[in-house]
Amino acid sequence: MLRTALKPKWLGWLAALVVIVAAFIWLGLWQFGVAHTKGAHDAMADDAHKTRVTLQDYIAPHQDFPADGSLRPVVATGHFDPEHQVLVAGRVLDGKDGWWVVTPLVADGSDARIAVVRGFVSTPSAPAPTTGTSSVTVEGELAPGESPSDGTYPAGQVGSVNLAIFANQWGGQIYNAFIFATSEQPNATAAPIQTFPPPEPASGGLQIRNLGYAIQWWLFAAFAVYMWWRMVRDDYRDEQALMAAGDNVPDPKERSASV
C-alpha cells in the first residue's frame, strides 16, 4: 500500500491535504482561543453585575462560603482587633516581595471576626498598625480562605490566609471568608501601607458555542486525512484485484495444448 501512496497522483493529493489540514487545525485553534476569551469576558461581566452586599446580611459566622461569593462586593462595619493582626508572607506586588497585612474586623451585630487584607508592606519590621478600636466601615471584595501552607514562619506571620489557623488564634466566632479591602472609613491606618486591587476574576471557562466550532474544524481535519487514506486504500485494492484477475487468465499455449 505504501507503493500506491507514493504514486505522483497521491503525493499531489497529500500535499494538498497537508495545506487543508493545517488550515483546519489553525481555524480550530482560533475558535478555541475565541471560546476562552469569551468565557473570561462572560465571567468578568458576571462579576461586574454582582450587587454590593452587607456582610452580616449575606453570610453568617461559620456558614459555608457562598457559591456566588467570590469577589462579591461587600461592606462591613465594626472595629479592628489590632492585637491579632498578622502578616501573610510570600506575597508579590509589582514585582516586589513582601507581606499582606491582615487584620481581623469584629463585625457589628455579631461580634464575629472576619479577616481583612488591608494592604501590602515590603518589610515585616514596619507593618501598618490600626489606630485604636473605633468604628470603621470597610468596603472591598469577598474571597474564600486559602489552603494551608507548608513551612515555619516567625511569630506574627503565616504562609496563607488559612481561616482555620485564624479561628484557633483569634478565638470566638469567625466568618468563613475574608475581604480584600478597597477602602476604610474613617482611615484606621496610622502607618504607610500600599493598597492593591482585588485579583482579577478567574477565567469563566470556555464559551460553548465557539468550543463547538473548534471541535468541528478539527473533525474536518481528521475527516480529510481519513478520505485521503481511504482513496489510497481503494486504489491499492483495485490494483490487487487486477493482479489477481491477471493471474487467473490461462496461458494461450496451455489452452492450445489442451485442444
Output the pLDDT for position 217: 86
Least trusted range by pLDDT, from 37-46, 100-109, 193-202:
37-46
The upper half-sphere exposure of residue 22, i.e. CA atoms within 13 Å in the direction of its Cβ, equals: 6
Output the pLDDT for position 248: 61
CATH of domain 71-185: 2.40.50
Exposure string of 90-111, with b = 16+ CB inside 10 Å and e = fewer, is ebebeeeebbbbbbbbbbeebe
Output the pLDDT for position 178: 96
- Choose among 146, 138, 143, 128: nearest CA to 193: 128
Higher per-residue confidence, 241 vs 15 = 15
- Taking the C-alpha atoms of residue 161 and residue 199, their distance in angstroms, rounded to an integer, is 15
Query: What average pLDDT is seen over the chain?
Result: 83
Count H helices, E strands: the chain? Answer: 6, 8
Cell of 17: 491535504
Higher per-residue confidence, 242 vs 19 = 19
Provide the 10 A C-beta neighbour count for residue 250.
Answer: 8
Tens of pLDDT, residue by residue over 88-140, are: 999 999 899 999 999 999 999 888 999 999 999 988 886 766 666 689 999 99
Q: What is the DSSP letter of 192?
A: -
- Taking the C-alpha atoms of residue 169 and residue 107, their distance in angstroms, rounded to an integer, is 17
| Residue 177 near residue 114, CB atoms below 8 Å | yes
Residues in the chain, overall count: 259
- Taking the C-alpha atoms of residue 101 and residue 118, their distance in angstroms, rounded to an integer, is 6
Backbone angles phi, psi at 220, to 5 degrees: -60, -40
Tens of pLDDT, residue by residue over 201-220, are: 655 555 677 778 888 888 98
CA 93 to chain centre: 20
Exposure string of 227-236, with b = 16+ CB inside 10 Å and e = fewer, is ebeeebeebb
